A and B are shown apart, each in its own frame.
Chain A
Amino acid sequence: MIMKKETPGQNPPDLTVAIGGLVLKNPVMTASGTFGYGEEYVPYCDLNRLGAVVVKGLSLEPRLGNPPPRIIETPSGMLNAVGLQNVGVRAFLSEKLPFLRRYDVAVIANIFGETVDQYRRVAHILSGAAGIHALELNISCPNVKKGGVAFGARPEAAAEVTANVRAETDLPLIVKLTPNVADIAEIALAVEEAGADGVSLINTLTGMSVDIEKRIPHLANVTGGLSGPAIKPVALRMVWQVVHAVKIPVIGIGGIMTAADALEFLIAGARAIQVGTANFVRPSATMEIIDGISDYLTRHGLGSIDKLIGSLNTNPSNGD
């Protein structure tokens, strides 16, 4: 049970943030692929309190996913190679979305395709459905043979798929970026110019782990995506770079386990954040993070989260 803290005689701070036309009650979202379709977390979270739920990546047709083993824990993190197993966009609309619509929470559909045309068709189907508040374009999955990161690694390809989906939908469009590139800001700029309303970063870092006794990879896919606290400093650095490169809102993702982690991203300029691996470790992590952000703003006398976002002072000796 989650008890809302009441401070007598003091209004709770305003946590509202906007991403394009999408207004969220607070900046805390669940990262795609770490929260199922929401239902799995009902015993541990009040979905009504979340800024948004970003659902597991959806493709035009159902996907079987990769063979097991799919995950392995690594120092301060984990590798996964699930391979975008999902029920397909139509089954999502008929079987999964009705449950989420019972809650007062923004639903962001993460979408994936092997071709530009598949991305367009998934976006088209979702745009006609009630109860979808935004799209997150996954051009950054490292665990599939076709599509995914192939679109996210080059600015021209990223811009092409973004522009095509943009033409297909009026929904706010977020593009999720891969860190497995030389210059992430260049990709962010390309998708901004192609019509994205926001960018979210980072997806997982490509990694690998070996079972030395059997001399085989720990993952059947050989490589996988690294997530968890291990990637947080890298994610924070990339968010900070992208915040300074683009004008559209940036959503920070990568190893956020606590409110303190979330605050680092917000101070560095992220308009919102996504919680991923922490949901696996502490299923009510998002609730603790929302409370922690609110408490921090109260403690620092900030009436609104707008005053915090991007408030990083990189020249503290010149400050007061």
Chain B
Amino acid sequence: MPEGSSVTTGEILDNRMVARDHFLMRVFLPLSFARPLPGQFVMVRDCRLSGPLLARPLSVFGFQRRPDHSVMELLYRVAGRGTSLFSRMKPGEGLCVLGPLGRGFSIHADVKRIVVVAGGVGIAPLSFLVDEGYRQSPSLEKRELRVYLGAGTEELLTCRERLSGVCDLRICTDDGSLGYRGPVTGLLGEELHEFAAEDTAIYACGPTAMIRELGRLLRNSPLRCEVSLEERMACGVGACLGCAVAVQNAAGRREYRRVCHDGPVFDLREMIFNGS
């Protein structure tokens, strides 16, 4: 269980659209809220209980400690009723935050090259990983950072400003409106030969089809790759068993793990893809 998880009432500082269907919410939190690790998530809901019954899981996109409070950033895409209601919440309104939750990304001290593969809003935990996990670590500044950032079309892209100065940014759009025309896994596949297993770590988050394609690309590759998964959740703490994902266990047998508690970050090689 994650260290220091708690139920906290935060206050929305601002909540604005950053791309079509994509919002960035900044939340004021007391110092008692534990510092999230890259890849961890929070369960959030409107404190007024007027909205949906269940909280919604959102990856932590940013986190700053101030002298007397913290600010958490959440980047989310409006995908259904819960996130649609979030998008209409106003500064000053209360947000119930449960977390930080889950197992985050591994930070490798021995790699020279970090490769990030992000599909759509999947960039949220990965941007936090780049920033918190690697860029802010003085001993790691000489790392080469390459980010493959994909979206359906240019107007769905987020985080370009945040990432462009700090990494080698490769933009991909399905319709070719900006950068490489095609999925991020298409460009990654063309450039995969540039990476050596002993000095590279790959991190990915995105739609199921992207993760599945990544699994196919890397099936016979020794490159290490961690993926952050998304699933519907009720509790977020490992009790409801709602967010099951099929993996191959150490004995080679199929079993279900909990995205919320055993993940959301998994080794790509553990995952079982239907039809592969």
Partners in one complex: yes
Indicate the size class of the contact surface on chain B. Answer: 20 to 34
Q: Which of B45, B53, B234 contacts A80 (CB 8 A)?
A: B234
> Is A42 within 8 A of B1, CB to CB?
yes
Residue in A35, A41, A72, A281 with the greatest tally of chain B CB atoms within 10 Å: A281
List chain A residues, Cβ under 8 A from B6. 43-44
Closest to B237 in A: A40
Could you say which residues of chain A place their CB within 8 Å of the CB of B52? Answer: 73
Chain A contacts for B214, CB-based, 8 A: none
Instruction: Report B1-31 CB contacts with A as 1/0, cut-off 8 Å.
Output: 1001111000000000000000000000000
Task: Report the Cα distance A73→B51, complex, angstroms.
Answer: 12
How far is B54's CA from A44's CA once the two chains are assembled, in angstroms? Answer: 17
In angstroms, Cα B232 to Cα A316, docked, is: 46
Answer yes or no: B58 CB below 8 A from chain A CBs: no
Contact string, A75-93, partner B, CB cutoff 8 A, digits 1/0? Answer: 0111010100100000000
Which residues of A sit under 8 angstroms from B244, Cβ to Cβ?
Answer: 65, 67-68, 70, 82, 85
Cross-interface CB contact of B239 among A34, A68, A69, A284, cutoff 8 Å: A34
Tell me the smallest distance from the CB of B5 to a CB of chain A, in Å: 5
Q: Contact between A64 and B1 (Cβ–Cβ < 8 Å)? A: no
Complex CA–CA separation, A39 to B234 (angstroms): 17
Find out whether the CB atom of A68 lies under 8 angstroms from the CB atom of B243.
yes
Chain A contacts with B in 228-270, Cβ cutoff 8 A? 228-229
Query: In whole angstroms, how far apart are the Cα atoms of A284 and B1 in the complex?
Result: 16
Find A82's partner among B98, B233, B242 (CB 8 Å cutoff): B242
> Which of B1, B45, B53, B261 is close to A76, meaning CB atoms less than 8 Å apart?
B53
A88: min CB distance to chain B, Å:
12
User: Cβ of B238: which chain A residues have Cβ within 8 Å of it?
Assistant: 36, 40
- Closest chain-B Cβ to A65's Cβ sits at a distance in Å of 6
Shortest distance from the beta carbon of A138 to any chain B beta carbon, whole Å: 15
Give the interface of A toward B (CB within 8 A): 33-36, 39-44, 56, 64-65, 67-73, 76-78, 80, 82, 85, 228-229, 277, 279-284
Partner-A contacts on B (CB < 8 A) = 1, 4-7, 45, 52-55, 81-82, 98, 231-246, 254-256, 261
Write 26 A-B pairs (CB below 8 A) sorted by A numbering: A36-B237, A36-B238, A36-B239, A39-B1, A40-B1, A41-B239, A65-B241, A65-B244, A68-B231, A68-B244, A68-B246, A68-B256, A71-B233, A71-B243, A73-B53, A73-B54, A76-B53, A78-B54, A80-B234, A80-B242, A277-B234, A279-B239, A280-B54, A281-B53, A282-B7, A283-B235
With A277-B53, A281-B53, A283-B98 given, name 4 new contacts (CB 8 A): A65-B256, A68-B246, A280-B54, A281-B45
